[in-house]
Structure 1
């Protein structure tokens, strides 16, 4: 069975997503009910919602909307990785407001579409330090050349659990493995960083196969080890390269030769441990 650590729900009637205008294929509703049907068919038994970069004024509303979905009988939703703005002075108050919400398991600030220097700002770094020793995780969504910025954050707060999204966002479409490969080796040396095997189908061209993705997934698991990798669907972004069922089947093909213990760690056990999921 699978724990999906990276589910996006898009509900345009409830929330505003400014970035969707630039991605026509995703600029529509992708509702929990649609995801749930397919997820149960492929063996997903639990999911964490990943923030979808909504309008900043709606960050708390997004969490509230997802939490309501989690309260339905037999919901797959077990928690949320909430949006945040560490570069703003209001982060401390925002963090305080989320401390008492057990549904919030961590935070993410999308960085791969932002200027490189955003994470280097004094306010940003001061606010990331506020997460030190907390129960929260912090997801890092960065491009290969930005992995060095992610390393700096991991070194800044060594007792904060960071999660590197999407295998470090390699440029699979161009077949580029450098500097991504070396940067992945370097960030993997930080014991407070785990890697998420997710998103890669969206970075390949439409003719991709299992073997197209294998070098990137296998290098990530080799660098981090089986105790420091988790799986995510990145639905509905994964539909840019197939669909949820395709990505799940591809994952099983990629790890077919691994031991049952290794497969279980990637697909569910590590996620349950890191986010304390029942």
Structure 2
């Protein structure tokens, strides 16, 4: 196996107020997670770098990740946060474009109303990204796929990537509406997808690889190896698994794929999508 990039992980200094989404059921991750915690896991699993993704909605978060990246060269890129609805969005994007580590932005749309991606102010922000060559990570629950389909259709020149395969309800095994949405959104050339965040949508205590397989089948049938990239979703994955187990689950699933396709999923697609320095 050649180099690998973890296209989706987070860092934080735990703040119980700001990080209130990390409730008591997720007590395993109610603490700080910083680059020195991740590096041994990356090394052990043959990863040469990662993309750090925002976990809270503030420009301070973006600056926090920039600071970490400036001190840790294995952080190859950052997906930050900026208020895409702001009147001065182009000015803010111009400001952040001076830092080459920032590759794109994300908003926690899964926490918004289902019509959020139809909002004029949000779409105005999306329309401003391309001038600065920024990507956009789509973080949604599967019920929000119709709105995401509308978004990617209306912005054909914007590069999008779906986080966590759009969060299907793996625990219940109900996949019909999610599958229909994935089949539709995968038709758009400007959309990629991260193989990430699956174990936390499954039964945390009792999941097994066979629970994930039907969902992986759908993702691979529709996106193909050319538009898929691996992301661990560390440290969130710790509520249901551990870093190495999640890596091995995907290793086993794609073990019969060609070396060329495996390299795309582990490495090349993330490099190309985020324009990472190798």
| TM-score range relative to shorter protein | over 0.9
Q: Does 1:183 align with 2:199?
A: no
TM-score by length of 1: 0.92
Q: What's the secondary structure of 1:201's corresponding residue?
A: coil
The alignment of Structure 1 onto Structure 2 pairs a total of residues equal to 272
- Cα root mean square deviation, aligned: 1.8
Instruction: Quote the residue 1:241 is aligned against.
Output: 240
- The more displaced of 88-97 and 234-243 is 88-97
Instruction: Quote the residue 1:122 is aligned against.
Output: 120
Instruction: Quote the residue 1:225 is aligned against.
Output: 224
Residues 165 and 196 of structure 2 are in contact (CA less than 8 Å); yes or no, is this contact kept in structure 1?
Answer: yes
The offset of 1:16, in angstroms, is 4.2
Q: Distance in 1 between matches of 2:249 and 2:189?
A: 28
Q: What's the secondary structure of 2:71's corresponding residue?
A: coil
The offset of 1:2, in angstroms, is 1.5
Residues 50 and 76 of structure 2 are in contact (CA less than 8 Å); yes or no, is this contact kept in structure 1?
Answer: yes
Q: Does 1:65 align with 2:64?
A: yes
The offset of 1:10, in angstroms, is 1.4
The offset of 1:120, in angstroms, is 1.2
Q: Does 1:3 align with 2:2?
A: no
Counting only pairs closer than 5 Å after superposition, residues 233-272 of structure 1 correspond to structure 2 as 233-272=232-271
Instruction: Quote the residue 1:46 is aligned against.
Output: 49
Residues 109 and 140 of structure 2 are in contact (CA less than 8 Å); yes or no, is this contact kept in structure 1?
Answer: yes
The offset of 1:125, in angstroms, is 1.1
Q: Does 1:31 align with 2:29?
A: no
Instruction: Quote the residue 2:137 is aligned against.
Output: 139
Residues 114 and 144 of structure 2 are in contact (CA less than 8 Å); yes or no, is this contact kept in structure 1?
Answer: yes
Residues 210 and 253 of structure 1 are in contact (CA less than 8 Å); yes or no, is this contact kept in structure 2?
Answer: no
The offset of 1:18, in angstroms, is 4.2
The offset of 1:239, in angstroms, is 0.9
TM-score by length of 2: 0.92
- The more displaced of 255-264 and 129-138 is 129-138
Question: Which of 16, 19, 22 is matched with 1:20 structurally?
Answer: 22
Residues 133 and 160 of structure 1 are in contact (CA less than 8 Å); yes or no, is this contact kept in structure 2?
Answer: no
Instruction: Quote the residue 2:159 is aligned against.
Output: 161
Instruction: Quote the residue 1:89 is aligned against.
Output: 87
Gaps of 5+ in 1: none
The offset of 1:100, in angstroms, is 1.5
Q: Which of structure 1's runs of 4+ aligned residues deviate more than 2 A?
A: 15-27, 61-73, 87-93
- The more displaced of 38-47 and 191-200 is 38-47
Instruction: Quote the residue 1:196 is aligned against.
Output: 194
Question: Which of 169, 172, 175 is matched with 2:170 structurally?
Answer: 172
Q: Distance in 1 between matches of 2:116 and 2:183?
A: 24
CA shift digits 1:34-62 (9 cap, x unpaired): 111111101111101000124x3xx2x32
